[in-house]
Amino acid sequence: MSLRSWIQASRPLAQANLAGPVLLGQALAFDRTGRFGWPWLVALFAWTVLDQLVIVWGNDYADRDDDVGGSAKTPFSGGSGVIQEGKIRPAALKRAALAAYALLLALGVVLSVLRSFWVLPLTLAAGLLLWAYSFPPVRLSYRGGGEHLQALGVGVVLPLLGFAVQAGELASFPWPALLATYLFGFAGNVATALPDVGVDRRAKKRTWPVRFGPNSSRWYCLALTVAGLGAVSAFGHPLAAALGTLPVIATFRLGRGRAAIVRFILLQGAAAQFGILGWAAFLVWL
pLDDT in tens, 131-142: 999 888 888 888
CA distance between the termini of the chain: 48
Highest mean pLDDT among 6-10, 160-164, 257-261 belongs to: 160-164
- What pLDDT is attached to residue 110? 97
**Distance between CA atoms of residues 117 and 258, nearest Å:** 45
Structural domain that includes position 133 = 3-285
CA dist list (Å): 137 to 132, 147, 237: 8, 17, 42
Q: What is the pLDDT of residues 49-101, one digit of tens each?
A: 999 999 999 988 988 877 666 555 677 666 777 888 888 999 999 999 999 99
- What pLDDT is attached to residue 69? 60
Q: What is the pLDDT of residues 105-130, one digit of tens each?
A: 999 999 999 999 999 999 999 999 99
- What pLDDT is attached to residue 78? 65
Element (H, E) at 265: helix 258-285
| Mean pLDDT, rounded, for 3-30 | 92
**Mean pLDDT score of the chain:** 90
Q: Is the entire prediction scored with pTM above 0.85?
A: yes
Residue 256 has pLDDT above 80, yes or no: no
Who has greater pLDDT, 71 or 202?
A: 202
| Mean pLDDT, rounded, for 29-47 | 96
Who has greater pLDDT, 169 or 258?
A: 169
- What pLDDT is attached to residue 170? 96
SS3 96: helix
Residue 231: which of 286, 269, 174, 150 has the closest Cα? 174
- What pLDDT is attached to residue 67? 67
Who has greater pLDDT, 276 or 257?
A: 276
pLDDT tier at 250, thresholds 50, 70, 90 = confident
> Residue 82 maps to which CATH number?
1.10.600
SS3 228: helix
- What pLDDT is attached to residue 285? 86
Please give the tally of structural domains in the chain. 1
**Distance between CA atoms of residues 268 and 32, nearest Å:** 29
Residue 107: which of 94, 122, 120 has the closest Cα? 120
**Distance between CA atoms of residues 164 and 275, nearest Å:** 21
Q: Are 268 and 223 in contact (CB under 8 A)?
A: no
SS3 286: coil
DSSP conformation letters of 144-189: S-HHHHHHHIIIIIHHHHHHHHHHS-STT--TTHHHHHHHHHHHHH
CA dist list (Å): 257 to 49, 195, 261: 33, 9, 6
Q: Residue 62, class by beta-carbon neighbours within 10 Å (0-12 exposed, 13-18 middle, 19+ buried)?
A: buried
